[in-house]
Amino acid sequence: MADLGIKNPTLGAIQISIFVLAFALGPIFAAPLSEIYGRSIIVRTCNILFIAFSIGSGFAQNAAQLAVCRFFAGVGGSGGLAVFGGVLADIWDLKERAKASALMSTLLILGPVVGPACGGWISERASWRWTCWVPAMAAAALEIISLIHMKESYIPILLEQKLQRNKRLHPDMDLYTVVELLSDLSTRRAGSFISSAIRPVIYLLVDPVLFLLSLYFAFVFGEVYLLIVTFPDIFGDGYGHSAGFVGIDLLAQGVGNILGLIATVKVHGIIYERQTRPDRRYNPESRLVPAFPGALLIVAGLFLYGFSALKYHFIVPLVGFVIFAAGAMNIFLAIQLYIVDCFAFPASAVASLSFLRFVFAGVFPLFGSRLFQALGVDWGTGLLAFLSLGLGLPFLPLV
């Protein structure tokens, strides 16, 4: 991005942080809107916003233009994440929800994993601008597919659509749904948006369990992005890998995430079978069980990554990153499923979770270079490991 005058590493990190911070703000509005107007229209509208501003990012002529376009592209890109928890609750029951969440989480983690790998090769062989245009092309193709195949899943909206069809067929009949009994539709929507928009914030403020879990979730998510920022220095400058191969190194995150995902789904399946026996009762807190080993894996992975980087073969820190990523996925999936199971408005609850995690993910890379310059990679990641241990383990057994 030297052609935009971005030569300072911190200024480059700001461009990443702006995009990620937009993912924190987008769900605050998109999730409540999905509980008023439905899931599908929010996903499609946000996707169009992402396409438009991703194209604009590729045509940016200075750092300010790029920052603005990346921000609104991030807001648009957050649409799918905003309704993620809501769709899970809409379609799948408790028994199948863990598997469905695992499948959707697999697709979600492929982006941050495959994206840098592809982006490294694209920027080497073409231009960084194509790293904005190629995702826009892919999103445009998905938009066309969604117009044909994506159906609404939110039950109140489905009831409303069915009611309108029946009213057209039987105009002389007085038809209504349970939703319509609440109030006039237009009044309900106008008032609901205000209450729904502040619901994620209220959840965080009044529910200590949600706040603590979201805080820990966000801290671990921020660590992921903080470690990713170190890859060009460690594997590029330190081990001599090209930009394309640094992207390949990042596939270690995908390997770890998939291993953690498989383990979490397996544990959830065993627990569910035991708790749904005639003499047992399902306990939503059981969703958090995989977070216990996940917390330990995060600490172990951070220590191995930090204290082996630039000292041993590059495979060793990558193994540490795999262990860290596996533990992170244990925690992400466990906390997310617990929140979906416990709240009447899962999309808003997940939006609360998303808000904090993307704030941390956006802020962490900004001080990452200073942290590692001051303490080194070894004790910098060591500090993160101790903080993870101190933040996570004391309250997880109390939930």
Mean pLDDT taken over the chain: 80
Q: Please compute the mean of the pLDDT values over residues 340-359 and round it to a whole number.
A: 77
pLDDT of residue 185: 47
pLDDT in tens, 255-294: 898 899 888 888 888 887 787 777 777 777 778 888 888 8
What does DSSP assign to residue 207? -
Are 4 and 58 within 8 A, CB to CB?
no
CA-based nearest residue to 245, from 117, 371, 399: 117
The C-alpha atoms of residue 238 and residue 235 are separated, in whole angstroms, by: 5
CA-to-CA dists, residue 160 to 44, 154, 167, 176, 185, angstroms: 20, 10, 11, 9, 10
Is the pLDDT assigned to residue 164 strictly greater than 80? no
Q: List, in order, residues 6 or more apart from 353 with CB less than 8 Å away.
A: 210, 213, 214, 217, 218, 335, 336, 339
Q: Mind listing the pLDDT tens digit for each residue in 201-251? A: 788 888 888 888 888 888 888 888 788 878 888 888 888 887 778 878 888
Query: CATH code at 362?
Result: 1.20.1250.20
Q: Report residue 355 CA to chain centroid gap.
A: 10
User: Could you give the number of structural domains in the chain?
Assistant: 1
Measure the CA–CA gap between 18 and 64, rounded to whole angstroms: 11
> For the segment 313-344, what is each residue's pLDDT rounded down to a tens digit?
989 999 999 999 999 988 888 888 888 778 77
pLDDT above 90 as % of the chain: 13
Task: Provide the residue range defining the domain that includes 320.
Answer: 2-398
Q: What's the pLDDT tens digit per position in 18-53?
A: 888 888 788 777 877 887 788 888 889 999 999 999
Among 208, 153, 115, smallest CA distance to 38 is for 153
At 221-235, the pLDDT tens digits run 888 878 887 888 888
User: To which residue do tokens 């991703």 refer?
Assistant: 54
**Contact yes or no for 81/23 (Cβ under 8 A):** yes
Task: State the amino acid at position 76 in one-letter form.
Answer: G
Cα–Cα distance between 45 and 140 in angstroms, integer?
12
Torsion of CA 167, 171, 172, 175, to 10 degrees: 10
- What predicted TM-score, i.e. pTM, was given to this entire model? 0.74
